[in-house]
Amino acid sequence: MTTTKKRLVDNDGAVSVLVVLMGFLVGTILVALVGKNPLNMYKALFQALSGYNIDNGRMNVRYIAETLNYSVPFILCGLSMGFAKRVGLFNIGGEGQYIMGLTLAQTVALLGPQVVVLHWILAILSAIVIGALWGGVVGLLKAKYEVSEVVSTIMLNYVALYLSRIICLQLPGATTYKTANFPTTALIENRFFQTITHNSLLNNGIFMMVAAVLLFWYIMEKTSLGYGMRATGFNKDAARASGIPVVKSISISMAISGAFAGLAGGIVALGSFKYGRVLAGMDNYGFDGIAVALVGNCTALGTTLAGLLFGLLKNAQALMQGKQIPKEITFIIQGLIVIFIALRSALKLYQEYLDKRQLQKEVGVK
C-alpha cells in the first residue's frame, strides 16, 4: 500500500492528475458556496468536451472543434515554456514572442504576395522566425552575459506589445483596433472542418500544433541536441565540465522556445480572425502557457493534455454563463491548479515524513 502511494507521489503525471482533480473539487465547493448548482458547471464542461447538451439532448460537434481550436495556442505556448524549462530556463516571454509572431503574420498577410498556399505559409514562417529571434536574443544574452532571462523576457513582453501597435497602425486600413480584412490567400481556414463542425473556427493550425508537439518530443527525447539540453537543464556545471556547449544549448533552446510561441501567434492571427488586430492589451496565451507547461510537467504529452484542459475551460465559459454559472469560475480553477502544482514539493515532503515514520516503526522507536 505504502509503495503504491510512494510511486504515485514520485510519478509526476499522477501528481498532475491529482492536482487537477483538487482544483475542480475546490472549484465545485466554491460554486456551491455562492449558491449555484455545481452540476451546471459540469454540464457545461461536458458539453464543451463532447458537444452533447445534457439538458436538451442535442449534439453539436462545433463545441468539440472550438475546444480544440482554443487549445492550440495554449498547447503551443505551453511547449514554449516547457522547452525552455527543460533546459533550466524560465521563459516568461512567451507572451512577447506570441505577440511578435501574431504581428508579423498579420503584416505578411496584408502586405505579402497573394499567391495561393505560399501566402499563408510565408506568414506562418515569418511568425515562427520572429518568435525564434525574439526568444533567441534572450538566450544569447543569458548565455553570453548572464542576463537573467526572467527579467529580459518580461521587459521584452512590453516592447513586443507596443512595437506591435506601432507596426499594426501602419498596416492598410488600420483603425485604432483593427486593420483591413486579410486576403483569403493568407487565411489558414479549413473548409472541410468548417463543413463538418457547423462553421467552427477550427483551422489548419491544429496540424501545425500536432507537428510542433511531435517536434518537441523528438528533439527533446530522441536527439543528441535534446540530450545536451536536458543535461544542461538538470546540471549546468556537469554539462559544461563534460564539454557540452552550454552557451549554444541555452541560445538554441530559447530560440526554439520562442518559435513555438511565435507559431501560436501566427495561428491565432490567421485562423481565428479575418482581419489584423491592433492589440490594446495582451492575449495572455503566453502567460497561460506557463501554467499549462507546469501542469504538463514540461513534457510533450503532458503539455498537450494540459493545453486541452485549458482550452476546454475556456470554451466552457460561454456555456457556463448560459447556465447561470459565473464564467470566472474557470479562471479560479486554473488558478487553483497552479497553486496546487506549487504544492507538489509539499506532497513530497509529506511522503518523506511518512517514510521516516515507517522507518522509525521498523527500528522500534516509540
Partner 1 sequence: MSEYAIEMRGITKTFPGVVANDTVTLQVRSQEIHALLGENGAGKSTLMSILFGSYSADSGQIFLDGAEVFIKNPNVATALGIGMVHQHFKLVQNYSVTENIVLGMEPTKRRLLDLKSARAKVARLSEQYGLSVDPDALIEDISVGQQQRVEILKTLFRDAKIIIFDEPTAVLTPQEIDELMEILRKLRREGKTILLITHKLREIKEVADRCTVLRRGRYIGTVDVAGVTEQELAEMMVGRAVKFEIDKPDQQAGRVVLSLKGLEVTDSTGLTKVRDLSLDVHEGEIVGVAGVDGNGQSELLGAITGLLPLSQGSIILDGKNIERYTIRERIEAGLGYIPEDRQKFGLVADFTIAENSALKNYYHRRYTKRFGLLDFSAMDGEADSLIEQFDIRSAEGAATKAGSLSGGNQQKVIVAREISLSPKVLIVAQPTRGLDVGAIEYIRRRIIEERAKGRAILLVSFELDEIMNLCDRIATISKGQIIAVNRQDEVNEYQIGLMMAGSRAEAAQ
By the 8 A CB rule, do 210 and 300 touch? no
241 makes contact with partner 1 (CB under 8 A): yes
222 makes contact with partner 1 (CB under 8 A): yes
By the 8 A CB rule, do 332 and 352 touch? no
352 makes contact with partner 1 (CB under 8 A): yes
Residue from 148, 175, 223, 284 touching partner 1 (CB under 8 A): that is 223
The count of residues interacting with partner 1 (CB under 8 A) is 29
Closest to partner 1 by CB, 148 or 235 = 235
Closest to partner 1 by CB, 104 or 143 = 143
CB of 131 to partner 1, least distance (A): 22
252 makes contact with partner 1 (CB under 8 A): no
Q: Cβ contacts of residue 345 below 8 Å, gap of 6+?
A: none
Closest to partner 1 by CB, 28 or 351 = 351
Residue from 6, 62, 240, 344 touching partner 1 (CB under 8 A): that is 240
239 makes contact with partner 1 (CB under 8 A): yes
Candidate ranges 92-100, 101-109, 265-273, 348-356; the one touching partner 1 (CB under 8 A): 348-356
Residue from 42, 46, 52, 227 touching partner 1 (CB under 8 A): that is 227
Which residue type, as a one-letter code, is found at position 236? Answer: K
225 makes contact with partner 1 (CB under 8 A): yes
Judged by DSSP in three states, 203 sits in strand
CB of 152 to partner 1, least distance (A): 22
Closest to partner 1 by CB, 58 or 356 = 356
Candidate ranges 69-77, 239-247, 270-278, 334-342; the one touching partner 1 (CB under 8 A): 239-247
C-alpha cell belonging to residue 240: 559544461
Which of the 8 DSSP states describes residue 77? H
238 makes contact with partner 1 (CB under 8 A): yes
Candidate ranges 71-79, 181-189, 209-217, 222-230; the one touching partner 1 (CB under 8 A): 222-230
Candidate ranges 117-125, 191-199, 217-225, 304-312; the one touching partner 1 (CB under 8 A): 217-225
Place of cell 498537450: 304
Residue window 99-138: x/- pattern of binding to partner 1, with contact defined by CB under 8 A = ----------------------------------------
For partner 1, the binding residues in 25-84 under the rule CB under 8 A are: none
CA dist 24 and 42 (Å) reads 10
Which of the 8 DSSP states describes residue 202? -
Which residue type, as a one-letter code, is found at position 45? Answer: L
Task: Count Cα neighbours of 237 within 13 Å in the Cβ-side half-sphere.
Answer: 0
Relative to beta strand 275-277, strand 58-59 is: unpaired
Nearest in space to 203 (alpha carbons), one of 134, 123, 280, 104: 123
CB of 273 to partner 1, least distance (A): 36
235 makes contact with partner 1 (CB under 8 A): yes
Place of cell 525552455: 84
CA dist 37 and 244 (Å) reads 56
Sort residue 364 into left (φ over 0), alpha (ψ -120 to 50) or beta.
Answer: left
DSSP 148-188: -HHHHHHHHHHHHHHHHHHHHHTSTT--SSEEEEPPGGG--
Q: Cβ contacts of residue 71 below 8 Å, gap of 6+?
A: 209, 307, 308, 310, 311, 312
C-alpha cell belonging to residue 59: 449534439
360 makes contact with partner 1 (CB under 8 A): yes
CB of 34 to partner 1, least distance (A): 42
231 makes contact with partner 1 (CB under 8 A): yes
CB of 238 to partner 1, least distance (A): 5
C-alpha cell belonging to residue 310: 485549458
By the 8 A CB rule, do 286 and 95 touch? yes
346 makes contact with partner 1 (CB under 8 A): no
366 makes contact with partner 1 (CB under 8 A): yes
Residues near partner 1 (CB under 8 A) are 222-225, 227-228, 230-231, 234-235, 237-245, 352-353, 355-356, 359-360, 363-366
